[in-house]
Chains A and B, each alone.
Chain A
């Protein structure tokens, strides 16, 4: 009861804050932080893709950067070389990421545990090196720089992501759509089937669930989320680079999702926010800020295996239990009074 109330209040407060960012943040800090928050929203979608696989299906993927890269390159190549419009390039990037997830998933989801983790790293590395070598197409290490086409144009009026406020709200809208889709999936029969597979895949097959197909569906859905985040990041930075296909990017997503709370809807947002803030605040003073990330990840995994959101929920449940037991004690005292 207390948990539901507090969480709903926080959700509304968080939504109100996100909507007010372009006006409030420049007043209390500066415009730079609006960009940082937009970046957090993009990377939160990426961490959500890791969370969908690890937190809901039990598959630890270190290859999500591959689909992030495909989303990014889809947009970059689409605009720079195929001269596609904004929406066509967006659709091209996301479709490329999903197609890649389907192809690699056909082989990867036959495996579980460390075998699955290893095969996802291998796929990620193969395509990273291919992207570096195929310089005419991908720009190699230099990547592809491109100019942004307008998102909408009505006659002479053009809405483009070059406008920082419009860009922020565009990213926020996509973030909201992605998390709403995640919410719907996790509460649907499909989401319950994912959880059953995470708990025990053998038992799941004994009640008629096709574990392979369901894992593949989850893998492609995670590819969709990673592709959307990659495409958004390409629009955000106006470039696409093979660097973002390297597996350390996948590792970041894993850390953000686990520290925030795998298996919870907003865990990845919490983890991503925490670590990107640490990076932005500490990296200007100390180049070894990754050490803080590492120490925090170890502490959270050891002391709060359900992540920060899990720790928070446990705390609220305890408060609820204490309140219930103190109410019961009070009632018992009243009853025992003459």
Chain B
């Protein structure tokens, strides 16, 4: 579905991505892990067309994403929930939900979104800025769902959110994946990644240094320690 082959990105004189190889299959849930500053967010920004790659190929369902403008990529079926939520704080919850929808909103889809995130239904007329961090995250994911994506890319969705809402967000991400939508999750929280994603990519200094099953990674604590600085 999504494949990155030898992707290189330069920002100024810095060589940020140094040949990233990564793929997400249809209906799969994969996590991209790594320490701060290794190039995780840049990888996502390269997929979404926000930074230009200097070499390599990024394809989604056979389409070369390098030929697309950033606004065309969501229309191809990739939903992106950026780090720090990325909602429109001055718009109401309802306006945030409908903003990317072309044509008539799908009532059935709306109902599904509100089943996933019932809190949003109670706050439809509230401004985005008045929601809590967790609710804003829910809104950002819900807005993605309204665009009927085939793949959702989430950049640290549980960062800075209170633990009670973290478990709810995890549960809903899992439920979304169960409906056949692929997930690419960028996380620093190993526990969240291992719970949600059967496949893990580890990143270090702009390149993928490990790719394999989550179960396999659990049996290799030295790799986790080396690349994430964590002990299992």
Contact = CB atoms under 8 A, between A and B. Distances in A.
A210 B73 CA distance: 11
A206 B147 contact: no
Contacts of B40: none
A208 B98 contact: no
B147 A208 contact: yes
Given A202-B50, A206-B86, A207-B147, A195 B91 contact: yes
Interface centre among A195, A200, A202, A205, by most chain B C-beta atoms within 10 angstroms, is A205
B21 to A, nearest CB: 24
Contact of B100 (A195, A198, A207): A207
Contacts of A207: 74, 99-100, 143, 147
Interface of B, helix, strand, loop or mixed by DSSP: loop
B89 interface: yes
Nearest to B92: A192
A206 B69 CA distance: 10
Interface string B21-60: 0000000000000000000000000001010000000000
Interface centre among B69, B71, B82, by most chain A C-beta atoms within 10 angstroms, is B71
Contact of A200 (B48, B75, B88, B100): B88
Q: Which bracket fits the contact residues of B?
A: 20 to 34
A189 B147 CA distance: 15
B80 interface: yes
Interface of A, helix, strand, loop or mixed by DSSP: helix
B71 A211 contact: yes
Contacts of B72: 208
Contact of B88 (A189, A196, A205, A208): A196
B180 interface: no
B88 A199 contact: yes
B70 interface: yes
A206 B82 contact: yes
A199 B98 contact: no
The 10 closest A-B pairs by CB, nearest first: A207-B100, A208-B74, A205-B71, A199-B88, A205-B70, A210-B71, A208-B75, A208-B100, A196-B99, A203-B86
Interface of B: 48, 50, 69-75, 80, 82, 86-91, 95, 98-102, 143, 147
